[in-house]
Amino acid sequence: MKIALITGITGQDGVYLADFLLKKGYDVYGGFRRLSTPNFWRLKDMEVFDKIKLVPLDLSDQSSMMNFLEKIKPDEIYNLAAQSFVGVSFEQPIHSGDITGLGVTRLIDTIRTLSPKSKFYQASSSEMYGDVGDAVPQDETTVFKPRSPYAAAKTYAHYIVQNYRSAYNLYACSGILFNHESPYRGIEFVTRKITNAVARIKLGLQKELTLGNIDAQRDWGFAGDYVQAMWMMLQQDKPDDYVIATNEAYTVRDFAKKSFEIAGLNYEDYTKTDTKFMRPSDVHLLKGNPQKAKDKMGWEPKVNFNELIKMMVERDIQRWRRYLKGEVFPWDAINAEGWEVTSLPSYRFT
Ligand code: NAP
Ligand code: F7E
C-alpha cells in the first residue's frame, strides 16, 4: 500500500485529494496545524475523517516535519498548506512569506535530508503570473510578474522546488493551478462568498451582496478535477511543472450573475460594489492553457463553469435550508455570518 502525506488537509483541496487517494488505496496521513477550535468540518462532511491519520504539522515549525519524516517516509508528499488568501497577504505580508514561501523550503529541505525518495508536489499558483499584459492565455513559459505578497511567496517557493529538483535530483513537481472552487471553498474567496450570499438571500436571511473588483477575470475550474492532476504529476517518469486550467475566463460579475440566475433571482436587484473590498493591487485577467497537461498526462477538466456554479449554489441553499429546519449547524456558513457583522479591519477583505 502506498503512503501519502497531504499538508493542509483541512483545506478545500486537502479533502478532495484525501478522498481521491483513499479511493486509489493509499494510506493517507493528513498534516494539520493545531487550532483552539478544531477545523475538521470538511473532512467530516466528505466522510474521510475516520479514514485518514492526522499528524500535527505546521509549516512554520521544521521539527514537526522532522518528527514525521524520520518515522514515516511517504511515497508521495503533497504540500497544499499555505496562507492562501491573497487579500490577507497584503495585511500579513511577513506571515504569508514565512508560511507560503519559506515554509516550502523548510519542508523540501527536510525531505532532502530525511526522505529523499519521496515524490513531492508543490501547490504553485496562477497568481504568480500577476501582471500578464498581452500574455493570454498563460502557460508554463509565461513570465511571472507577481502582484501580491502571496504571489511573491508562491513564486519564491516555485523556484525553490525547481532548484531542489535540479540540485539534488529530487522528484519534485509544481502544479501551476488556476482558481479552482467547490462547495468546500473557503467562505472569504469570491465564488463562495457569492454562492453563500445567494443562498441566504434566496431564503430571506440576507438582503444584499457587496463585492469589490467585479471586472476581474479568472479561469475557474472544479477542485475535484484539479486534485487528480496533482496525483498524475507524481506518476510520470520524470518530474516536471504543469499548468492546470480550463482555458476559459469569466468576470466576477459573470459568476455572480449566473449564481443569482440559478437561484431564480436577478443579480442587479441585490448586488453592489464597495472599494473597501478592493486590493492595493489586483490581478485583472488569468486564463490558463493546460495543453501540456493534456498532451503529457491526458488530464482535462470535466466540470464546466455553469456546472460548477450550479453545484455550489445548490449546496449552499441545501445547507441553509437544513440549518433553518434545525437539522445541521453549518459551521462554515455560520462563520460567514459572523464575518458579516464584525467591524474588524480585516472585514474589507472577506
Ligand atoms: P485552503 O482551503 O485555504 O487550505 C489551506 C490549508 O493550509 C488549510 O488546511 C490550512 O489550515 C493550512 N495552513 C495554513 N497555514 C498553515 C501552517 N502554518 N501550517 C500548516 N498548515 C497551514 O486552500 P486550498 O484552496 O485548499 O488550496 C490548497 C493549496 O493550493 C494552497 O497552497 C493554495 O495556496 C494553493 N492554490 C490554491 C488555488 C485555488 O484556487 N484553490 C489555486 C492555486 C494554488 P487551517 O484549516 O488550519 O487554516
Ligand atoms: O479573488 C475579486 C478579487 O479571493 C478573485 C486563491 O485560491 O486563487 C485564489 O486567489 C478575484 C480577485 O481569489 C471580491 O479582487 C471582487 O480579483 O476569490 P479570490 P484569488 O485572489 O484569485 C489563486 C489561484 C490562489 O492561488 C489563491 O490561493 O475576485 N473580488 N470582489 C473579490 N474577492 C474577494 N475575495 N472578495 C470580494 O468581495
Q: Are 347 and 339 in contact (CB under 8 A)?
A: yes
Of 26, 150, 242, 323, which one is the catalytic site residue?
Answer: 150
What is the three-class DSSP state of 305? helix
pLDDT of residue 322: 86
Is 29 labeled as catalytic in the residue annotation? no
Does 348 have pLDDT greater than 70?
no
213 lines ligand 2 (CB under 6 A): yes
Distance 200 CA to ligand 2 centre (A): 21
In whole angstroms, give the CA distance from residue 179 to residue 127: 9
pTM (predicted TM-score): 0.96
Does 198 have pLDDT greater than 50?
yes
60 lines ligand 1 (CB under 6 A): yes
pLDDT tens digits, one per residue of 143-189: 999 999 999 999 999 999 999 999 999 999 999 999 999 999 999 99
pLDDT tens digits, one per residue of 95-125: 999 999 999 999 999 999 999 999 999 999 9
Does 342 have pLDDT greater than 90?
no
In whole angstroms, give the CA distance from residue 248 to residue 74: 36
Closest Cα to atom 38, ligand 2: which residue? 211
In whole angstroms, give the CA distance from residue 232 to residue 124: 15
Q: Which ligand is nearest to the CA of 271?
A: 2
96 lines ligand 2 (CB under 6 A): no
Q: Which three cell numbers stand for residue 151?
A: 504571489
Does 333 have pLDDT greater than 70?
no
pLDDT tens digits, one per residue of 231-268: 999 999 999 999 999 999 999 999 999 999 999 999 99
Nearest-atom number in ligand 2 for the CA of 151 is: 26
266 lines ligand 1 (CB under 6 A): no
Task: Name the CA radius of gyration of the chain, rounded.
Answer: 20
Q: Which three cell numbers stand for residue 179?
A: 482558481
In whole angstroms, give the CA distance from residue 240 to residue 238: 6
- What stretch(es) of the chain map to CATH 3.90.25.10? 190-218+250-286+304-332
Pick among 3.40.190.10, 3.40.50.880, 3.40.50.300, 3.40.50.720: CATH of 3-181+220-244: 3.40.50.720
- What stretch(es) of the chain map to CATH 3.40.50.720? 3-181+220-244
Query: Which CATH fold topology does 190-218+250-286+304-332 show?
Result: UDP-galactose 4-epimerase; domain 1 (3.90.25)
Q: Are 184 and 16 in contact (CB under 8 A)?
A: yes
Which of the 8 DSSP states describes residue 20? H
pLDDT of residue 37: 80
Does 338 have pLDDT greater than 70?
no
Distance 325 CA to ligand 1 centre (A): 32
Does 5 have pLDDT greater than 70?
yes
pLDDT of residue 117: 98
pLDDT of residue 134: 96
What single letter denotes the amino acid at residue 248? E
Is 125 labeled as catalytic in the residue annotation? yes
pLDDT tier at 330, thresholds 50, 70, 90: low
CB under 8 Å, gap of 24 or more: what pairs does 93-98 form?
93/149, 96/149, 96/150, 96/153, 97/149, 97/152, 97/153, 97/156, 98/60
Distance 283 CA to ligand 2 centre (A): 9
In whole angstroms, give the CA distance from residue 91 to residue 87: 7
In whole angstroms, give the CA distance from residue 201 to residue 269: 11
105 lines ligand 2 (CB under 6 A): no
Does 344 have pLDDT greater than 60?
no
Distance 11 CA to ligand 1 centre (A): 5
Q: Is 79 exposed, middle or buried (0-12, 13-18, 19+ CB in 10 A)?
A: buried
12 lines ligand 1 (CB under 6 A): yes
State the average pLDDT over residues 308-329. Answer: 89
pLDDT tier at 343, thresholds 50, 70, 90: very low
How many CA atoms within 13 Å lie on the side-chain side of 56? 8
Is 96 labeled as catalytic in the residue annotation? no
Distance 265 CA to ligand 1 centre (A): 32
187 lines ligand 2 (CB under 6 A): no
Of all residues in the chain, the percent with pLDDT exceeding 70 is 94
How many CA atoms within 13 Å lie on the side-chain side of 237? 1
pLDDT of residue 350: 35
